[in-house]
């Protein structure tokens, strides 16, 4: 079986509030997108990297040139993203219809998570490799978790949840090509709110594996996250 990497990069970074999409913001001496792509390519040098990009993306050509100068062997496929993240991932899978076999693995990783380590990537692959469907990196919840409810324009506690069973869903998430393709297609047709791949497989009746991952695999979402990522990247031994 083959491994394909789908790296959704078609978001506009609204919460970042910058004048260009966050994946193109500087991070150390590169852009956020290049750091993430580089880490995935280093872990899986043989794998195709599939990048769903925004229809009006202006920045990819320059980044691609720099990336291929650094990694001339990298195999890149681009396609258009869609309205939501799940649409972008499905477009990425559709770009592989003529290439991928049903049983192949697809690793999906947000380009907005540059702090992914080589060890976590290997742990995910090793953890799911004999599984029927696949799984995801996840981190056990450390804080006490409250369920809130809205009362007169404010929020009050309605319950404390049992933290022992709660995990933060991270990326990468890794699934068999055909099962992921079918689950995403059907989930989107049904209008389900799919914020990750696992939720699509869960809706299809599967129980993906939770593979413990590092808590510093943060998603760059708000402006202050960039400085934190720089700090983490500087101190990490990937
Ligand atoms: N993404 C995508 N297609 C979309 C929306 C998001 O490919 N229609 C990608 C983003 O580029 C990012 C990942 O999915 O790599 C996670 O999404 P998120 O962190 O929400 O990024 P944005 O959607 O760009 O940010 P925001 O929600 O603040 O606009
Ligand atoms: Mg978003």
Output the pLDDT for position 142. Answer: 94
The pLDDT value recorded for residue 230 is 97
Give the pLDDT confidence score for residue 1 in this predicted structure: 81
Alpha carbon distances (Å) from 150 to 35, 124, 163, 218: 40, 38, 22, 28
| Predicted complex ipTM | 0.99
- Report the C-alpha gap between 80 and 66 in whole angstroms: 21
Ligand 1: nearest atom to the Cα of 16: 28
What burial class does residue 58 get, using C-beta atoms within 10 Å of its C-beta: 0-12 exposed, 13-18 middle, 19+ buried? Answer: exposed
Ligand 2 centroid to residue 85 C-alpha, Å: 7
From the alpha carbon of 8, which atom of ligand 1 is closest?
Answer: 7
* Cβ pair 89, 52 in contact under 8 A: yes
* Residue in 27, 85, 188 to alter for ligand 1 test, most ligand atoms within 8 A of Cβ: 85
Rounded Cα distance between 11 and 101, Å, is 28
- The first and second tokens of residue 144, run together, are 């006490």
Distance from Cα 11 to the centre of ligand 2, integer Å:
6
3-140+169-235 folds as: Spore Coat Polysaccharide Biosynthesis Protein SpsA; Chain A (3.90.550)
Nearest CA to ligand 1 atom 13: 110
Given its phi and psi angles, is residue 17 left (phi above 0), alpha (psi -120 to 50 degrees) or beta?
left
pLDDT at 112 over 80: yes
Q: Percentage of the chain with pLDDT > 70?
A: 99
pLDDT at 238: 57
Distance CA 163, CA 211 (A): 17
Q: Percentage of residues in the chain with pLDDT exceeding 90?
A: 98
Predicted local confidence at residue 54, as pLDDT: 98
Q: What is the pLDDT of residue 237?
A: 66
- Cβ atoms of 210 and 138 closer than 8 Å: yes
Q: pLDDT tens digit string along 150-201?
A: 999 999 999 999 999 999 999 999 999 999 999 999 999 999 999 999 999 9
**Beta carbons of 203 and 129 less than 8 angstroms apart:** no
- Mean pLDDT, the chain, rounded, equals 97
Q: Choose the residue to mutate in 112, 193, 220 for probing ligand 1, maximizing ligand atoms within 8 Å of C-beta.
A: 112
**Distance from the CA of 73 to the center of ligand 2, in angstroms?**
31
Residue 183's region, left for phi above 0, alpha for psi from -120 to 50, else beta, is alpha
């Amino acid at each position: 079986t083959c491994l394909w990497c789908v790296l959704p990069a078609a978001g506009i970074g609204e919460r970042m509030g910058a004048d260009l999409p966050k994946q193109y913001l500087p991070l150390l001496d590169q852009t956020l997108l290049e750091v993430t792509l580089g880490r995935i390519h280093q872990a899986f040098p043989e794998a195709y990297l599939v990048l769903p990009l925004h229809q009006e993306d202006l920045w990819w050509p320059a980044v691609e040139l720099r990336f291929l100068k650094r990694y001339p062997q990298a195999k890149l496929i681009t396609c258009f993203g869609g309205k939501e993240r799940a649409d972008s991932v499905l477009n990425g899978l559709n770009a592989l219809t003529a290439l991928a076999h049903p049983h192949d693995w697809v690793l999906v990783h947000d380009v907005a998570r540059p702090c992914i380590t080589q060890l976590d990537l290997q742990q995910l692959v090793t953890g799911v490799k004999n599984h029927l469907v696949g799984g995801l990196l996840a981190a056990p919840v450390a804080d006490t978790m409250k369920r809130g409810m809205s009362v007169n324009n404010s929020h009050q506690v309605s319950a404390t949840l049992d933290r022992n069973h709660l995990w933060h869903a991270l990326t990468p998430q890794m699934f068999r090509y055909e099962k992921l393709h079918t689950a995403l297609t059907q989930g989107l047709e049904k209008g389900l709110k799919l914020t990750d791949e696992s939720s699509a497989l869960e809706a299809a009746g599967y129980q993906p594996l939770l593979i413990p991952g590092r808590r510093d695999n943060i998603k760059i979402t708000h402006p202050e996250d960039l400085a934190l990522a720089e700090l983490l990247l500087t101190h990490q031994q990937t």
